[in-house]
Amino acid sequence: MWDGFTFVSPFLMFIVNTEFVPGKRVVRVFGLVQGSTVRAKHLGRDIAAGLKNLVGGELKGYTELLNESRSESLRRMIDQAKRMGANAILNVRFGTSTITAGASELLCYGTAVMLEDE
């Protein structure tokens, strides 16, 4: 659910890329949480991407791969925060890195906290 500022995940947790949530205050900081996934290229997607590269346009196979990776790393981060007892994750960021030729990691990280109404 999106209210224009704060994302409330289906897991009943505030997920924001800011240091605070309006109307809430941090009452406990649990610390860093993270989730990651390593994904490899798919031969079929590579062939389609090569052809698309000739004519231009969106590489939909890679867009799907990135969306799946983003969702999986976010889910893993949320699971870690829930195990700690958090009800929110602040300062959420995503990062990528190349592991080997053809494989990349997508990392999601933030600060797990307990929020209460002000």
DSSP 12-52: S-EE-SSS--TTEEEEEEEEEEEEEEEEE--HHHHHHHHHH
What does the alpha-carbon distance between residue 96 and residue 2 come to, in Å, rounded to a whole number?
25
Q: Exposed/middle/buried for 63, CB within 10 Å: 0-12, 13-18, 19+?
A: exposed
What tokens does 90 get?
């602040």
**Three-state secondary-structure class, residue 86:** coil
Thinking of the domain 14-117, which architecture would CATH place it in? 2-Layer Sandwich (3.30)
pLDDT of the residue at 40: 76
| CA distance linking residue 10 with residue 6, whole number of Å | 13
Pairing of strands 88-100, 14-15: parallel
28-82 pLDDT, tens digit per residue, is 999 999 999 987 765 555 555 455 455 566 667 677 778 888 889 999 999 999 9
Ordered by start, the domain boundaries in the chain are 14-117
Mean pLDDT of the chain: 80
pTM of the model: 0.76
Q: Which residue has the higher pLDDT, 95 or 101?
A: 95
Q: Distance between CA 62 and CA 104 in Å, rounded? A: 12
Amino acid identity at 8: V
d(CA 37, CA 31): 21
